Amino acid sequence: MPEIYFHVRWPDGATQRCYSPSTIVEEYFAAGAEYELSDFVERSRTALGIAGERVREKFGFFCTGASEQLAHIERTAAAYASADGAQAAKVTVESLVNADGSSR
């Protein structure tokens, strides 16, 4: 399966490299796009859920990497959601990168 990483910038400027076992994330995120915090989390749930299922279809088991990445995104987002100004919080997808490091 073609792995892909999406690099995000959280509302406080912290960056994170996120993993997906499938390029499906390209249908949910665009490089340079900014998403409201709740929208980013929901898109992550959907995209990583589909990615994990694609692994199950191909290999017979759900991708734990997709599940772990989603859990990390949800924990991080929860911290921002409880902060002042959470309704205005934005997450930026800075880039989508192939597993070999080349840009999408």
Q: What b/e string do you get for 52-89 counting C-beta neighbours within 10 Å, with b at 16 or more? A: bebbeeeeeebbebbeebbeebeebbeebeeeeeeeeb
pLDDT tens-digit profile of 47-98?
A: 999 999 999 999 999 899 999 999 999 999 998 887 766 667 899 999 999 8
Is the confidence at residue 102, as pLDDT, over 90?
no
pLDDT, residue 34, reads: 97
Quote the distance between the C-alpha of residue 40 and its chain's center.
8
pLDDT tens-digit profile of 24-44?
A: 999 999 999 999 999 999 999
- Global pTM? 0.90
CA distance 45 to 70: 6
Q: Which residues are within 8 A (CB) of 52 and not within 5 positions of it... i.e. 6 or more apart?
A: 21, 62, 63, 66, 67
Neighbours of 38 (CB within 10 A): 14
